[in-house]
Structure 1
Amino acid sequence: MSAAPVAPQAESAEHHGSGPELGLLLVPPRARTGWRVVPARVLAMCTVELQKLRHDRTELYTRAVQPALWLLIFGETFTRLKAIPTGGIPYLDYLAPGIIAQSAMFIAIFYGIMIIWERDSGVLTKLLVTPTPRAALVTGKAFAAGVKAVVQAAVVVLLAAVLGVGMTANPLRLLGVAVAVVLGSAFFSCLSMTIAGIVLTRDRLMGIGQAITMPLFFGSNALYPVDLMPGWLRAVSRANPLSYQVDALRGLLIGTPSHLGLDFGVLALSTAAGITAASALLGRLAR
């Protein structure tokens, strides 16, 4: 009975005295081609970012403190005061989607610090000399921020449910919530990386990040209806992507009137613009 033919790669592995496991290391995997290249590299970058979270979950726990305080103290107090008209909706219910958007933004807005740290440690230079497009690097990091924000949003939703907030349990609506959180976080992380590409240092980025987070938050509809705002603040709110994210979350979670098509359109365009701007400035960090 004749022996079965042996593949050249296996013969090479046996010739070098390695087993079948090491043989896999000697044979490079088949390279992806065509349209699959960029999505594969985006997924790889996103996975690398999330591996950091698996090794250190402290960030998730500490980030949950602030939204909990907003709901427990601010939300409960203003629900009793009835100082902000919300169309018959309990203020805590009205506030919860805004706090989800706020906590996601606070995670993403300092994401540029990580890019600067990677520049200082030499990691960014190594990434930029690979064939991976810069847009894929930025997109992977942006959507990793989005996944972190979804985990944070789940914590806020559970806390709000414990406090008696009436939220939907419809799986399709919850999927829409996840998409809105990912898109909003991706935009704000790209904004942070864009600022990092301009200022180039962590200290400057921290100062600018702290200077813009609260105006973005208070200049949105997260805490109060747009109708209560003065005219100039309404104009700011219309230009603020956070307002569209909050509107989408509010409509999906508690069923208030919303403009989901417009909301998701603005979030998607903002994210695309953010990826483009951050990609264009990424090389400036490595100089």
Structure 2
Amino acid sequence: MSEAPAAPHAVSADVARADGIDLLLRPPEPRAGWRVLPARVLAMCAVELQKLRHDRTELYTRAVQPALWLLIFGQTFTRIKAIPTDGIPYIDYLAPGIIAQSAMFIAIFYGIQIIWERDAGILNKLLVTPTPRSALITGKAFAAGVKSLVQAVVVIVIAAVLGVALTWNPLKLLGVAAVVVLGSAFFSCLSMTIAGIVLSRDRLMGFGQAITMPLFFGSNALYPLSVMPGWLQAISKANPLSYQVDALRGLLLGTPSHLALDFAVLLVAAALGIAAASSLLGRLAR
């Protein structure tokens, strides 16, 4: 006659309580990096935009220059017809270039802010958090992109008031937003990279002023590639601003463009900019 199976031993209340306490005290398993990074980027972007919410003066003052470009330069050159624009009014041709220019002018001095954060001790506090450096830089880069979007809306409104024939297709406007954000992300990262090299606000201001005008005039923002000398055409083809302007013209005006190439160049440029600025962030904080 076989014996009946033994009953399982009951778990004592003390053991169960100990297991429960152990679960409470055990730190949660960290999430995978690909899950953490987007959340960190969004958090950093939100922090940057909070600053804009408290002080909108920069947006108002920066709207003056693009308005002057369109009102004075655009309307004057439309009358004299000195620049070939493939049959469209010059002010129409100019408007996407001014959108790109105003976005670049916002982003290109973004490194000054990160130097100020270093001097105030904020950057060191951010670097000791678990947030990856790439997330810090990406958050700041896309915050610059959102600031530039507000500027782009101002320019588009002014252009529409002046009679520029822009598209209002929602999908194309989304493409315009993506182009503005990507371009601004690259130029803000370029500024933060320079900040990591020069380590000084005064030097950064000098570098920013030295490269802003060559980037602008060395692009197709004001005139087509066909009227440039050969050496300037080579510079323009290596200038990310040219691809940003080309994409904006294609989306807003419907002119012939190379959207796939434009987006590819802007994506690669933004990624390289984020990598470069992230690698120099530690040097800036020393």
CA distance in 2 between partners of 1:60 and 1:31 (Å): 40
Alignment TM-score, normalising by the size of structure 1? 0.89
Considering only CA atoms, is the larger Rg found in Structure 1 or Structure 2? 2
> Structure 2: which amino acid aligns with 1:187?
F
The secondary structure found in structure 1 opposite 2:114 is helix
The secondary structure found in structure 2 opposite 1:84 is coil
> Structure 1: which amino acid aligns with 2:89?
P
Counterpart residue number, 2:45? 46
Counterpart residue number, 2:260? 261
Counterpart residue number, 2:276? 277
Write the mapping of 1:32-111 to structure 2, written as runs, cut at 5 A: 33-111=32-110
CA distance in 1 between partners of 2:240 and 2:34 (Å): 30
Deviation string, structure 1 residues 85-121 (Cα, Å, up to 9, x no partner): 1011000000000000000000000000000000000
Calculate the aligned-residue CA RMSD, in Å: 1.3
Counterpart residue number, 1:178? 177
Counterpart residue number, 1:224? 223
> Structure 2: which amino acid aligns with 1:188?
F
Deviation string, structure 1 residues 237-272 (Cα, Å, up to 9, x no partner): 000000000000000000100000000000000000
Runs of 4+ in 1 over 3 A off after TM superposition: 28-34
Deviation string, structure 1 residues 131-169 (Cα, Å, up to 9, x no partner): 110000000000000000001000000000000000001
CA distance in 1 between partners of 2:90 and 2:45 (Å): 36
The secondary structure found in structure 1 opposite 2:35 is helix
Deviation string, structure 1 residues 51-75 (Cα, Å, up to 9, x no partner): 0000000000000000000000000
Counterpart residue number, 2:143? 144
> Structure 1: which amino acid aligns with 2:58?
E
Q: Report percent identity of matched pairs.
A: 83
Deviation string, structure 1 residues 217-249 (Cα, Å, up to 9, x no partner): 000000000000000000000000000000000
Alignment TM-score, normalising by the size of structure 2? 0.89
Counterpart residue number, 1:25? none
CA drift of 1:35 comes to 2.5
Write the mapping of 1:136-215 to structure 2, written as runs, cut at 5 A: 136-215=135-214
Change (3 A) 1:61 1:30: farther
CA distance in 1 between partners of 2:104 and 2:124 (Å): 27
CA distance in 2 between partners of 1:84 and 1:246 (Å): 17
CA drift of 1:32 comes to 5.2
> Structure 2: which amino acid aligns with 1:134?
R
The secondary structure found in structure 1 opposite 2:275 is helix
| Structure 1: unaligned runs, 5 residues or longer | 1-27
CA drift of 1:31 comes to 7.1
The secondary structure found in structure 1 opposite 2:274 is helix
The secondary structure found in structure 1 opposite 2:164 is coil
> Structure 1: which amino acid aligns with 2:159?
A
How many pairs are equivalent? 260
CA drift of 1:36 comes to 1.7
The secondary structure found in structure 2 opposite 1:164 is coil
The secondary structure found in structure 1 opposite 2:87 is coil
